[in-house]
Copies of this chain bind each other. A is one copy, B any other.
Amino acid sequence: MYDKEFEIIGKKLFSEGLVTANFGNMSIREKGGFFITASGSFLDESTEPVFVSDSGIPCPGASSEYRVHLETYKRTTAGAQVHVHPPFAVAASFSFDEIVPQDTEGKMFCPLIPVVKGDAGSDELAQNVADALTRSPVVIARAHGTFAIGESLKECYILTSIVEHACKIIYYCGGFGGLKL
């Protein structure tokens, strides 16, 4: 179930350059847990999502980033989540502790985008992302990518697109100012 919805949004994410290769993952909340894309799957291809229970027990093949999704579903009322690696957002995350969009849509839908830390797949990242998502519907994990929550995958995708657009505008207006590591 949901596989068609995952594929439609996955193709949109690809066509805008928000993710490449077999990176990123998406999930939809379901009674007793959530369905998440399989580990290593290509978001723009048709694949069967994998169930993870609310108690944190993933079925075989679930994306290793299920910890972030699990923690976020615990702490928010999100119905869906999308995590991808948009290049301008990732690059911006090295220079800012929070991104303040300058464009109209960014100001309207995510006026202050938190940038959080944590190794991919770690509990620290899960905690930091979930915590930030209680304050903003979309956050950037430094050096890694965006995490967006919403009612549906479509809403998450739109938020992700807004963040990348906002970061692109900031970049074209004068750059990010180099790495801050």
Contact = CB atoms under 8 A, between A and B. Distances in A.
A55 interface: no
Interface-centre pick from A104, A158, A164, A171 (highest chain B CB count, 10 A): A104
Interface in A76-130: 85, 87-88, 90-92, 94-95, 102-105, 107-108, 119-120
A165 to B, nearest CB: 6
B172 A87 contact: yes
Interface of A: 12, 14-16, 20-23, 85, 87-88, 90-92, 94-95, 102-105, 107-108, 119-120, 141, 143-145, 157-158, 161-162, 164-165, 168-169, 171-179, 181
Interface-centre pick from A12, A21, A120, A144 (highest chain B CB count, 10 A): A21
Nearest to A160: B21
A12 B119 CA distance: 28
Contacts of A168: 87, 91
Contacts of A143: 102-104, 107, 169
Contact of A87 (B102, B158, B169, B177): B169
